[in-house]
Structure 1
């Protein structure tokens, strides 16, 4: 058994970390002497070739969407920066749009991190820096004036600090059971406007179920439900609207369905026996390819539609898991299977995870993970927020991130001690957020020049959808 350190020892370790990683050093944007276009091209390698232009098209909408799709750039830049030495599986892509509400297995609506494609062992500072940079970039995109953005970032850092100090007083089991519910968010809201928005979000989430999605995505034909094509975002892999290319062998329906059946059986072995029993009560009706997000565009992602004997649906998403950008730039041990990496990281960081989380190996040795496509999931409509609501949302994101870090690391005492009780970390991270927002604009400009010159092809969803209209 490892030796148990006293609280005083752990606090001393947190303060000692400041010697080789001063809090003021967190202001530096890192190693930005690189070609952003080259790194993005490397990150696109191995994706579905016909969908890469759509990835770039979604990234080209604004500097904010570009930031969401370019996690590889920030990971590269942070690789040469100093850090406290406190490492554990971090989210890896903790920008403000990768938080949201979803239902626990007990049907309670909670707020938490909800995207773990980049999860991997790394310095906790990398997560909070990505989050703070996202506030600055999104704030500029929304037209919020600089002083108000500074207030948002500073408030968010202070929230993270204060929550971490609270979690430093919690036992291991208390941290494991800590959960950010919408009821607690309502109590913590600083304004009546914020409470009203949370209440509306609760109502919205209640209607976002598998059953409500069924008739929007599928049609009943001769007693079986079939997902309707809506290219480029949704299509059947072997159908006339497929964008996958002949070399993928998706057109050989029997072959790829056979391989998928084998992969599905392997997935079932990664979930609990009661979940296998539950899934066994559903029959598979259809499978389609679904394009999701910004950064994930071009990776293989399927939707499987199951229906039980009562005609009630279950949508499972099968998403490709590639090497994390964090793992590329921070050397640490982790699961060799990329799907297992995502699932293990999500279970560790989230307060309550999807009942159907699991992983498998698919055709051509690609790694995948499974989760529900939608289960009362809701995300923030940031563009509609005013500066007051935006500041409140920033506080909640920081609360959720602090909870995740405290649970996953077991080092809330050390992190809290490193942070201290003053403004030094908030000042440094506010400077960092603005510096990285400026760097993101430079990278976006370089990216757009590459698109305009033809070096990169960028196409919008509407443009690609027009290819399929008669």
Structure 2
């Protein structure tokens, strides 16, 4: 067993990393001499073919939605940049919309990273760069000036550095139990507008429960609840509104239910004994295919509806886990099972995770992970935020990312020593984010040109829903 280093030795490691990657070098955006259309096509391979146009349709809405769905492009570009050499499981897709609120098993509402499909071992800077680039792109979309966008970025990076410096003084156990509750977020808000938004979000979260969504998503007939089809977002795999196609092997309802039963049993083995006991109190009523997000469109995702003896619901989401784009461009020893990779990354990075989080293998060699579909989950409406609110949100995201990185890595001392007071790194991130926002705009233009020419097919949710109207 390797003897742990002293704090002095660990600080020296962080400062030594400045030689490997000068903080000023972090402004470089990497190798952008690639065709974004080719990379997106490669990233769409293996998805449900009929849903790929919907993926592109959602990405086509704006440069910001395009950025959300094109994590593969930034990962490709970052692979050609310097990094500090301090690596550990990172989120991999830490843009603004992948932060949000959810309930802990103890029913506390917390703010944290909430998407880990791309979680993998990589440089911590890649998460920061994903965040600051999304700030610049969202700021441009909102019509903010370059100076204002610079304030957003500086705020996020300085908060990250200051919190990392604070966490460098925490014991291992103190860091493991650190969570960012909405009460702490409200108490730290610098404006009345920010505090009102937090209160409004808390109230909204309290309405987003399994019970509140039951009658919106399902209908009861003869004592059994059935999820209502709402294509293209929600449909039964073997039903008349299915978008999976005849070659998907989902046409035999009994067959795929049988395969899923085996997968579900394997999933329960990844839970603790008490959670398995809890699940035994529920009976499965229905399963439907659910189309989620922007970047995940076309991957296999199911919604499972369970009801307990009191008639109360539990919705579980079964989501396909594909290879991480981070692992594609930053090869490192990792988990072979992609569902397990997502779950381990989430448990490491979050302050508190979903009690039903687990993984399994499914038909056709696909890997999946489970989580609750709705459990007081809320996300920010970034597009509607004023500049003051967006700056406050930037700060909270910087705080949440620092907490996640400090916990997952146990290397807050090294990262803090590398950052110093944060000024040099913040300046580099400002330059990086603005330059990458320009690159994203150029990629979006190329993408839209491909959509208009027919090289890529893009269809909106409304377009696809119209196919099922009489």
TM-score band, normalised by shorter chain: over 0.9
1:94 aligns with 2:103: no
Match status 1:162 vs 2:178: no
Q: How does 1:362-373 map to 2 (within 5 A)?
A: 362-373=362-373
Match of 2:460 in 1: 460
Tell me the CA shift for residue 70 of structure 1.
Answer: 0.1
Q: Distance in 2 between matches of 1:208 and 1:155?
A: 31
Matched, 1:187 2:201: no
User: In 1, Cα distance between the equivalents of 2:260 and 2:157?
Assistant: 45
Question: 1-side partners of 2:422 and 2:434: how far apart?
Answer: 20
Q: Is the 8 A contact 2:72 2:325 kept in 1?
A: yes
| 1:236 aligned onto 2:233 | no
Equivalent residues in 2 for 1:309-388 (5 A)? Answer: 309-388=309-388
Which residue matches 1:257? 257
Residues in 2 aligned to 1:84 and 1:306: alpha-carbon distance in whole angstroms: 47
Matches of 2:402 and 2:144, distance apart in 1? 26
Secondary structure at 1:33's aligned position in 2?
A: coil
CA separation in 2, counterparts of 1:266 and 1:201?
A: 36
1:139-167 Cα deviation digits (max 9, x unpaired): 11111122111111011100000000000
Match of 2:430 in 1: 430
Distance in 1 of aligned mates of 2:286 and 2:441: 42
1:81 aligned partner:
81
* Match in the other structure for 2:405: 405
Cα distance in 2 for residues equivalent to 1:220 and 1:257: 20
CA spacing shift, 1:22–1:280, aligned 2, 3 Å:
same
Report the CA distance between 1:363 and its aligned residue: 0.5
For the residues of structure 1 that align with 2:311 and 2:183, how far apart are their CA atoms? 33
1:205-216 superposed matches below 5 A = 205-216=205-216
Q: 5 Å matches for 1:138-157?
A: 138-157=138-157
Q: CA deviation at 1:247?
A: 1.3
Per the alignment, do residues 78 and 184 of structure 1 end up closer, same or farther by CA in structure 2, a change over 3 Å counting?
Answer: same
Structure 1 distance, partners of 2:422, 2:299, is: 43
Offset at residue 422 of structure 1 (A): 4.6
Distance (whole Å) between structure 2 residues aligned to residue 357 and residue 263 of structure 1? 14
Q: Partners of 2:262 and 2:9 in 1: how far apart?
A: 51
Q: 1:283 is matched with which residue?
A: 283
Deviation at 1:111, TM superposition (A): 0.2
CA deviation map 1:356-397 (0-9, x unaligned): 000000001100000000100000011111000000000001
1:125 aligns with 2:136: no
- Residue 10 of structure 1 corresponds to 10
2:297 alignment counterpart: 297
CA contact (8 A) 2:157 2:422 kept: no
Question: Could you say which residue in structure 2 is the equivalent of 1:204?
Answer: 204
Q: Using the alignment, how far apart are the partners of 2:211 and 2:383 within structure 1?
A: 29
Instruction: Specify every segment of 5 or more residues in structure 1 that has no aligned partner in the other structure, as ranges.
Output: none
- Provide the secondary structure at the position in 2 that maps to 1:29: coil
Give CA-to-partner distance per residue, 1:65-113, whole Å, 9 cap, x none: 0000000000000001110000000000000000000000000000000
CA offsets, 1:26-71, max 9 Å, x none? Answer: 1011111101000000000000000000000000000000000000
Instruction: Measure the CA separation in 1 of the matches of 2:436 and 2:379.
Output: 24
Cα deviation code 1:246-286 (max 9, x no counterpart): 11111101110000000000001000010000000000000
Q: Structure 1: how far apart are the matches of 2:301 and 2:180?
A: 29
Question: Structure 2 CA distance, aligned partners of 1:353 and 1:345?
Answer: 11
Distance 1:151 1:344 in 2: 34
Q: Could you say what secondary structure the match of 2:160 adopts?
A: helix
List 4+ stretches of structure 1 deviating above 3 A: none
Whether the 8 Å contact between 2:104 and 2:353 is mirrored in structure 1 is yes
Contact 2:356/2:372 (<8 A) preserved? yes
Partner of 2:379, secondary structure, is: coil
1:44 aligns to 2:44 (yes or no): yes
* Aligned equivalent of 1:31: 31
Q: TM-score with structure 1 length normalisation?
A: 1.00
The CA distance in 1 between the partners of 2:144 and 2:265, in whole Å, is 50
Return 5+ residue gaps in structure 2 as ranges.
none
Q: Distance in 1 between matches of 2:106 and 2:325?
A: 33
Cα deviation for residue 212 of structure 1 reads 0.1
| CA-to-aligned-CA distance 1:116-154 (integer Å, 9 cap, x gap) | 000000000000000000000001111112211111101
- Secondary structure of residue in 2 paired with 1:348: helix
Do 2:161 and 2:422's aligned partners in 1 also have CA atoms closer than 8 Å? no
Task: Give distance in 2, aligned partners of 1:422 and 1:372.
Answer: 37
- TM-score norm. by structure 2 comes to 1.00
1:217 Cα shift? 0.2
